[in-house]
Amino acid sequence: MQELKVPDIGDYRNIPVIEVLVCAGEVVAVDQPLVTLESDKATMDVPSVFAGTIREVLLKPGDRVSHGSVIAHLEFDAPASNASASVLAATHTGTAISDAATAFSTPARPQTPKQRTESTASEANAGALLADRSEVTVDRARAGKAAAGPSVRKLARELGVDLSKVAGRGRNARVVREDVLAHVKTTLSKPAQAAAPVEARGTQPDILPWPQVDFAKFGPVERRPLSRIRKISGANLHRNWVMIPHVTNFDQTDVTELEVLRTALNRESKAGAAKVTMLAFLVKACVAALQQFPQFNVSLDGQELVQKRYFHIGFAADTPNGLVVPVIRDADRKGVAAIATEMAELAGLAREGKLTPAQMQGGSMSISSLGGIGGSHFTPIINAPEVAILGVGRASTQPVWNGSAFEPRLILPMSLSWDHRAVDGAEAGRFLAWLATLMADFRRVLL
């Protein structure tokens, strides 16, 4: 039995172990990495100086070691007569350990172009040699995880590769750089549908599976399928909530005078004409706010912002099968009455299920109103690819101090959800404050 120890690593003490590359019962060869250590400057694989079978591993990730710390107990497989050969192999390895320790204690220096070319050529030659070997199946139960060095793990993280799915063809089924690159090439060459799950793992959070419950054992149940609208909107809402960094600002505005105007307009309207709603005023006010703050009238397209020069406002319409969002186009060119009429027509088509896809696309921003149902503030989900959505609750009469006494005022709660990738908090605060000012004194919309 022989102790495998940490070699001289310079003046470093209490170096953390970030990876254990062997386990009990494993046969190791001379120079095979046993553990990976990490300092504040570099990482280092500690190789074995003997060949044999690991009988006990004394370290685990997170342990701290210094020069002379015992890594594992190893039993020689070779006869005693060959022990001297193992010792000679260990002596031969001493230089490699010393060189590794030097690299461990010295920060890596930038390579010259010539050095980078030579390094690339060496990696290519190594990859060619590995490709000639028969593929080795990785025993995941043995190691508990893929055997790979820190640089390979970093490359896998950057490329979104799950190392447990990569077959290693290095020594002892160790995953090397060429294995990761080959795995990516193979995945990209597959049809898009087959590659989708891999892409999803790179963009979705690592969450627990949905609970499987037999609801019938708790009492009577009835199953019915989701409506087509809920299936489509549910998938879109989930994507938007997960992919967009939502932030919601809350405010309220005094719409007492605006409600007086709205009531008067409806009283004077002709029989059969569409009623002017508070939502129609909100659409017009949102147009004015977008003109004042054009950074909200954008969409993200990769690493670019698409600035829109049109003003199309979507509104959430309630239907028996779920919410849909028709879009009022060129709202900046229409008056409040015309907007109210078009809104009534689109809502009717939505309830009948006759909206076309073109009537639900191209919005600058959307409005979700619960005024007819109830409630105050809420957090609406952004309707991608827009970057903002306004949520409106039910207006209520509240006592407001006018400087000398309390007087009843009609207060409208508002919630603005915005995409933090395209908008910052100061801009959102100014946008919502300006919108509240417009609703409190609608004459400003004409300016």
Active site residues: 420
Closest CA to 161 of 186, 194, 189, 190: 186
- Alpha-carbon dihedral of residues 418, 424, 427, 432, nearest 10 degrees? 30
Cis peptide before 245 (omega within 30 of 0): no
CA distance 299 to 81: 75
HEC string of the chain equals CEEEECCCCCCCCCEEEEEECCCCCCEECCCCEEEEEECCCCEEEEECCCCEEEEEECCCCCCEECCCCEEEEEECCCCHHHHHHHHHHHHHHHHHHHHHHHHHHCCCCCCCHHHHHHHHHHHHHHHHHHHHCCCCCCCHHHHCCCCECHHHHHHHHHHCCCHHHCCCCCHHHCECHHHHHHHHHHHHHCCHHHHHHHHHHHHCCCCCCCCCCCHHHHCCCCCCCCCHHHHHHHHHHHHHHHHCCEEEEEEEEECHHHHHHHHHHHHHCCCCCCCCCHHHHHHHHHHHHHHHCHHHCEEEECCEEEECCCCCEEECEEECCEEECCEECCHHHCCHHHHHHHHHHHHHHHHHCCCCHHHHCCCCEEEEECCCCCCCCCCCCCCCCCCEEEEECCCEEEEEECCCCEEEEEEEEEEEEEECCCCCHHHHHHHHHHHHHHHHCHHHHHC
Alpha carbon distance 413, 409 (integer Å): 13
Structural contact between residues 105 and 12, judged by C-beta atoms closer than 8 angstroms: yes
Give just the sign of the alpha carbon dihedral 417, 419, 423, 424. Answer: positive
Pairing of strands 304-307, 298-301: antiparallel
Give backbone dihedrals phi and psi of 215, rounded to 5 degrees, phi first. -65, -25
